[in-house]
Every structure is written in structure tokens, then in C-alpha cells.
């Protein structure tokens, strides 16, 4: 538990960090960034809240079970998204240029960037982002709980 100034700015910054992280994940096929980077940004938000409020309070708000489940669900959906193109090959991007969801074609060369393109890549970005936010967040929570257990003794 840190001082009131730190807790107040953590309250203000936490939703902004979450929005920024999900923006990086969702625009991974248009701008610099992607699943790994956005997930790391969201895990930074978890670390900020955990350090500002102390582990004893935070473990009621952010359950480690949920983060572990997010990690497993992310990896599983990544593998399933890779398996959906098994008709041609593993990791086949069958949604690109198909007209379905995320299936618009892009003009060749520099363009302003259209969100509804790139086929399977945004789905994989989202899956990997969920996996990384769960993984790094649960690493932070595990280390804080070990530090807390060391403190008591």
C-alpha cells in the first residue's frame, strides 16, 4: 500500500492503460504493435495497480485463477485459429481477401489503413494478446504473493 497520491493516479491511469493496450492489440495489423506488445502493456497496468494498493488488497480484485484461465484460453484459441485453415495447410490465412469478416482487400501500396482486413491475423493477435496479458499478469501476482509470504516469516 503506497501513499494516497500514488493510489489516486493509479485509479486514473488504470483504465487508460487498458484502453491503450487493447488499441495496440486490435490495430496490430495496421500500426506498430501486435498481440505480444499489447498484452505486455495490459500486464503493466496490472502491475501498477498491484504495487499501488498492495498485494493483500489486490488479491480480492484480480483473481489468479482468472488470469491463468485467460492464458490457457488464449493459447487454445490461437491453436484453433491456426487449425481452421487445415484444408490447405496449417496456419493458412483463408479469411484474407475472402469477403467474410476481416476479409476486405487492401489497395496495394501506402493507404490510410482499414480495420476490416487481414483475415486471420487480427483474430490471432487477439488470442495472443489474451494469452500474454494472462501470463505476464499471473507472473506478477505469483511474485508478489511469494514476496508477501517471505515478509511474514
Partner 1 sequence: MRKALMAASLFVLFAALLYVAVNPSDFGAELGDHLVFGEPKYTDMDSYFIHNGQNQTAANNIVTSIVFDYRGFDTLGEASVLFTAVLGVGVVLRMLRGDENDE
Partner 2 sequence: MLYNLPYITVAVVIAIGLYAMLYKRNLIKIVIGLSLIESGVNLFLVSLGYVQGGIAPIYTNAPKTEMVLPTPQALTLTSIVIGVATTAMLLSFCIVIYRHYGTLDSEKVRRLRG
Compare residues 9 and 105 and give the one whose CB is closer to partner 2.
105
Q: Which of 87, 90, 99, 151 binds partner 1 (CB under 8 A)?
A: 90
Site for partner 2 in 27-86 (CB under 8 A): 30-32, 34, 36, 40
Q: For residue 91, give the C-alpha cell.
A: 496456419
Closest contact distance (angstroms) between CB of 52 and partner 1 is: 20
Q: Which of 119, 126, 129, 133 binds partner 1 (CB under 8 A)?
A: 119
Check if the beta carbon of residue 68 is closer than 8 Å to that of residue 138. yes
Q: Residue 148 contacts by C-beta under 8 Å, 6 or more apart in sequence?
A: 55, 56
Closest contact distance (angstroms) between CB of 101 and partner 1 is: 13
Count of residues in the chain? 153
Site for partner 2 in 101-140 (CB under 8 A): 106, 109-113, 132, 136, 139
Closest contact distance (angstroms) between CB of 20 and partner 2 is: 18
Site for partner 1 in 15-74 (CB under 8 A): 28-32, 34, 59, 63-65, 68, 71-72
- Helix (H/G/I), strand (E/B), else coil: 149: helix
Closest contact distance (angstroms) between CB of 139 and partner 2 is: 5
Q: Choosing among partner 2, partner 1, none, which partner's interface includes residue 124 (Cβ < 5 to 8 Å by kind)?
A: partner 1
Dihedral angle sign, alpha carbons of residues 48, 49, 54, 60:
negative
- Burial degree of 79 (CB within 10 A; 0-12, 13-18, 19+): exposed
How many CB atoms lie under 10 A from the CB of residue 80?
A: 11
Amino acid at each position: 500500500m503506497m501513499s494516497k497520491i500514488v493510489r489516486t493516479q493509479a485509479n486514473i491511469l488504470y483504465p487508460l492503460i487498458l484502453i491503450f493496450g487493447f488499441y495496440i492489440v486490435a490495430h496490430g495489423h495496421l500500426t506498430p504493435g501486435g498481440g505480444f506488445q499489447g498484452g505486455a502493456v495490459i500486464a503493466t497496468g496490472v502491475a501498477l495497480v498491484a504495487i499501488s494498493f498492495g498485494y493483500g488488497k489486490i488479491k480480492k480484485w484480480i483473481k489468479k485463477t482468472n488470469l491463468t484461465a485467460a492464458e490457457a484460453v488464449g493459447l487454445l484459441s490461437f491453436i484453433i485459429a491456426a487449425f481452421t485453415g487445415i484444408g490447405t495447410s496449417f496456419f493458412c490465412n483463408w479469411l484474407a481477401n475472402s469477403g467474410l469478416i476481416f476479409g476486405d482487400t487492401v489497395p496495394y501500396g501506402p493507404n490510410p489503413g482499414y480495420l476490416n482486413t487481414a483475415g486471420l491475423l487480427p483474430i490471432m493477435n487477439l488470442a495472443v494478446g489474451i494469452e500474454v496479458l494472462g501470463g505476464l499478469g499471473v507472473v506478477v501476482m505469483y511474485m508478489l504473493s511469494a514476496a508477501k509470504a517471505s515478509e511474514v516469516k
